[in-house]
Amino acid sequence: MKKKLFLVLFFSLFALFVTGCYNYHELENLAIVTGLSIDKKDNQYVIGVLVANSKKQEASSKEGQSQTIVYEGHGNSVMEAFYNIDLESPKQLYIGHLAVVVIDENIAKNEIEKISDILIRSPESRKNFYIVIARDAKAADVLKITSPLESYPSQNVSMNLKNTSTYQGISTDITYSEFIASMLTPGINPTLPTIKISGSVKDGEKQQNLESSSPETKLHLDTLAIFRDTNLVGYVNEEESRIINILNRRTAYSLTSVKYKDNNIVFHLSNFSIKRKATLENNQPIIDVSLKATAAINEINTNADLSDPDTITKINQLLENKIKNDILDTIHTTQNEFQSDIFGFGNLFYQKYPKYFSDIELDWDKKVYATVKINADVNIDLETKGSLEQTIRREMYGKTTK
């Protein structure tokens, strides 16, 4: 009995030292990959991984600077490229805390589904990282550009995406699982945010880039990329990006401006409530989009009398028309120019008229979508004028000024 007990205790203690347990790894043996870039060169995949916990980082973190390592690997598939990096890196690559994946434009145009598999199949990855397309730049370069405000380039990109998509609505923070979901759901096409590099990449990856108060090389987010099925078909402009994000319920706030008496009034939009309805009349698909929102005047340069209720009503009318036209224009652009249903209207038909949709599913984007009739109804509530009752000119000279 005593001997048995001793043996059990001995082996129990021994188990603490055994590193062969499934899935066991000590933290210091992991290279924490926070950013991943995928490019293609000479028919081979080139992937870059941004490792956050390098020894260099430890030394530099005390001085408030950032230094991370970007490894690059080549291979016929993404996984092979990954294994090639493992040969270089003394630590095992760990993608559980992946924050951003940057994809090259050309890959996005042709074969995004080929590189998507590895990231969704790996049990290690969390699937909630952001995915972004490098526009006019090598994807690997995006990971190298340091930023003075965030410790890691990947952090820089992901925080930027998060804030911009919430407060502006030009870019959007689409996580990988959302992207895959919109790729797999019938009747909806994905959109992805894009990113650009301004300045030279060579300077951007150096520490000196951070020493200047206005860094030479910067990353900045660009407008949305539109996909049809799995292929990138083009980019929309800023105004269209905003509308797409509003209609897809991907932003909480947005901006828009209206021309009034040759000058601009800028509005801040919030409290969006979007209703989308699909109807089928004599085989003619119709989509009704209704948008309710609250607007606040952000900036006004015209000489309008803001205390006059009629003026306010007029401005409100103008704003509603402007947004309505924007919505219709944006949807028409996607119907005609890109032939891609990024709003998921097809999905509404799929849910409401499954039989009808199953007949046209394969033709939906290229043929049917362009023929869909769109009705838009916009209802804006101009709520506040901000901290100033009147325009500055009127505050100064009184109401008589013209």
Partner 1 sequence: MKKIEKSIDKVFLTVQKMNGKSSDIKTRKIMQDESQIGILFLQSVSSDDKISDILIHSIMEIMESSHLTGKNLLQELYNHLYNGTIKEITTYQDLFYHLVNGFTAILVEGENKAIVVETKSTLDRGIQESNTETSLRGPKDSFTENIVVNLGLIRKRIKDPNLYFEELFVGRRTKTKINLAYLSDVADQERVEKLKKRLQEIDIDGVLDSGNLRSFLNPQKSAFPKIMSTERPDFVCGYLLEGKIAILVENTPFVLIFPTLFIDFIHTPGDYYQKTKNVNFSRFLRILGFFVTLLVPAAYVAIMTYNPEMIPDKLFISVAIQREGVPFPTAIEILMLGITFELLRECDLRMPSKMGTAISVVGGLVLGDAAVNAGIVSPFAVIIVAMTSVAGLLFTDIDMVNALRWWRLIFIFFASICGMIGVVIASIMLITHLSTLETFGIPYLTPFAPFYLKEQNDALFLTEKSKIKNRPRYLSSKNKKRLNWEVKK
Distance CA 168, CA 245 (A): 9
Task: Supply angle C-alpha 335, 177, 132, rounded to 5.
Answer: 65
Tell me, by CB under 8 A, how many residues bind partner 1: 30
Choose the binding region for partner 1 from 20-28, 80-88, 162-170, 290-298 (rule: CB under 8 A): 20-28
Per-residue x/- mask for partner 1, residues 150 to 189, rule CB under 8 A? --x--x----------------------------------
Nearer to partner 1, 94 or 227 (CB): 94
Any contact of residue 55 with partner 1 (CB under 8 A)?
Answer: yes
Residue 367 is classified by DSSP as I
Token pair belonging to 379: 């209802």
Q: Looking at 13-21, 226-234, 238-246, 256-264, which segment touches partner 1 (CB under 8 A)?
A: 13-21
Cβ–Cβ under 8 Å, residues 342 and 334 = yes
Closer by beta carbon to partner 1, 99 or else 269: 99
Residue (23 or 283) nearer to partner 1, CB: 23
Q: Cβ closer to partner 1: 12 or 400?
A: 12
User: Considering the rule CB under 8 A, would residue 149 count as an interface residue with partner 1?
Assistant: no
* Cα–Cα distance, 399 to 401 (Å, whole number): 6
- For residue 295, which amino acid is it? A
Neighbour count for residue 160 (Cβ, 10 Å): 23
Report yes or no: 120 and 175 within 8 Å, Cβ to Cβ.
no
Residues 103 and 109: their CA atoms lie apart, in Å, by 10
Tell me which stretch binds partner 1 (CB under 8 A): 21-29, 81-89, 195-203, 268-276.
21-29
Nearest-approach distance from CB 400 to partner 1, in angstroms? 58
Q: Least Å distance between CB 60 and partner 1?
A: 10
| Cβ contacts of 326 within 8 Å, gap of 6 or more | 239, 240, 242, 243, 256
Q: Is residue 132 a contact point for partner 1 (CB under 8 A)?
A: no
Question: Taking the chain, what is the end-to-end CA distance rounded to the nearest angstrom?
Answer: 103
- Residues forming contacts to partner 1 in the complex (CB under 8 A) are 12, 15-17, 19, 21-28, 30, 32, 34, 52-53, 55, 57-58, 61, 94, 96-97, 99, 124, 126, 152, 155
